[in-house]
Structure 1
Amino acid sequence: MDEEREVVMRTWQVGDVMTRDVATVEERTPYREIVDVLLRRGVSAVPVVDGFRRVLGVVSEADLLHKIESAGEPEQRRIFESRRRRGARGKAEALLARDLMTAPPVTTYPQATLPAAARLLNREQVKRLPVLDDLGRLVGIVNRGDLLRVHLRSDAEIREDIVQEVLRRVLAVRDGLVTVQVRDGEVTLAGRLDRRSAVDLAGRLAAQVSGVVLVSNAIEYEADDTVPDPAQVMPVA
């Protein structure tokens, strides 16, 4: 089986789970209006966009809270001030989105896989990603909770994908050779195939199906084609 065929298997992407109706503000949107947008829309952050819907940055609740944290306290400027403290003080004094936002923004695209988006969130230590089209315009936003929605898929949907996509379309396995059981996203594969490489590939592809939590691969095989055949190994001169 040609393992390059793995890449053609359709799995959920960012575009399948992102929020398309995104609340936004502009560079000159004032502090109070940003607070109003967050509370009215029930979100914790908003992208800052220009007239072409290109994302310039993101204003989050954390950016806005600096003003509340410093309220009523005497201004104390230190000779040696950390970049983080200096940035927090600047946001506490800011009045417009352009001065409150965190920039440059960390973004993604609708075609990105959910694992790739999750890794980006973790690596950059952010809670959401503005989603851009091919021209760099905002088309959605995805957060941690959105990525978890893939695990709300039913066991029946997951099993159907494994049977239709993995076994029938990619591996061309005849019906009845492999059984698929799914419970709470945990997949058990059983049966018998002719080659070990096909068994291994079935397990790897099943693990890539959207919503799968764990794969137990109990498929047996007739021949182990993953090790060289001694009869075909050329002797070293």
Structure 2
Amino acid sequence: MTHKYNITGMTCEGCKASVEKYLKKVDHITEVKVDLEKGAAELTMDSHVDTATLNKALPDKYTISAAHEKQVFNTENTVGMPAEESKLKQLKPLLLIIFYISAASILLHYNNWGWSAFMLDFMGLFYIVFSFFKMLDLKGFPESFSMYDPLAKRISAYGKVYPFIETALGLMFLMRFEITIALVVTLVVLGITTIGVTRTLLDKKAIQCACLGTALKLPMTEATFIENFIMIVMAILMLINML
């Protein structure tokens, strides 16, 4: 008999090979087929093996669940928990980071409020913080990023330099240096990424978001699209204001 499963935590061909290796060692599993892009697997068994046993066979960075289960991005025991609640827990680090960036940007100008200054500091802090998490794993980030970014898929070097591009853009916004160039580059790089994110969401692929690098396991959800969309809208508003 063959069963279909969702697998989270895979970011590269090495991950795929690792998952296949460990699953093939499980008793009663006769064949393993893993699809990296879809985050899915087909397991052929001569006797049923429950998901708890399959998860124990895999390293902690991977999570396997039956394809019919709604908790596609489940990384902990959430039996009986609504899918939306589970997704919210997954996105908690991202939401907290955006909250702190917003709060810091507001506090910097609470005595002398100005929307332009707020947006520049928000964008600058956004890039600096997000690039920091990408810097934690410069080797693993490009592989994860290329899973959905169209340009990173075609040009591997782009994924390698992307964290440094973000750092440079962050400094340019915070230092008010060549803001027009920084805004145009923001529209280009985030526009490309947003296209890839949109395709991934429409295809309902279960992959890991690389917006915070590989240090935090974040599912690719609508939140990724929204954060990029906010930055793009801010960049457009700033460019219009500068005309």
| TM-score (ref. length: structure 1) | 0.25
Structure richer in strand, relative to its length? 1
Larger Rg: 1
| TM-score (ref. length: structure 2) | 0.25
